[in-house]
Amino acid sequence: MRNYSRILTLGLVILFATSLVFSFYKFYIVRDYMVYGHTECDPSENTCFVYECDVASEDCTGDPEEDTEYYALIQKNASQIPTCDPHKEECEPLACASDEADCEVTFCDERAAAKEEVECSNPEDFQEEELEEEGMESEEDASENEESEETEEGNEPAIIESGKPGLTEEPLEIPGESLEVPALPKDKALE
């Protein structure tokens, strides 16, 4: 009976030690496990999960753009993720390579949004906003062009014609002022 007890104890110790060695090898050496996390998402191109700062439980800035985060879910093999300590350095965001087998990005849909308890973004809304902003910028550019065309002939800026930007062979005259700035000789010019 004693021999049977010792053999059983020795077998259990060997089994436990083998399990520890195998787990250490798998999780620390080979890193053969899946990582689930959040990754960056462009709401103008994809349907992203929308996280809004909760004023009751978090410190929020009060600016809706800064307090709103757009993300997608990612599932990736840990061996494909470079080791990085986010407390010591800036880490690359998780992303899938085009030929990576064990990587999947999940964008927002009704089922996933219900599971995450968040809302989904609509790319069409962001594309409309971008079009409106571009329209406003083009109107501002047009008004600036009209203003520059209305300048008087005596107040037009001097055009520098030289092989090096900012260097002229002749003194530069600024209209409306009597200040002359001598040009640098070509041999003294910085390259």
Domain ranges of the chain: 1-30, 32-128
Q: So what's the pLDDT on residue 21?
A: 96
Taking 50 as the threshold, does the pLDDT of residue 154 lie above it?
no
Phi, psi of 50 (to 5 degrees): -115, 120
Burial 33-43 (b: 16+ CB within 10 A, else e): eeeeebeebeb
What percent of the chain stands above pLDDT 90? 17
Q: What is the pLDDT of residue 163?
A: 47
For residue 166, is pLDDT > 80?
no
Whole-number Cα distances in Å, 17 to 13, 70, 106, 156: 6, 45, 38, 85
Indicate the SS3 state at residue 55: coil
- Over residues 5-40, the pLDDT tens digits come to 999 999 999 999 999 999 999 998 998 899 998 998
Q: Which of 14-18, 94-98, 139-143 is most confident?
A: 14-18
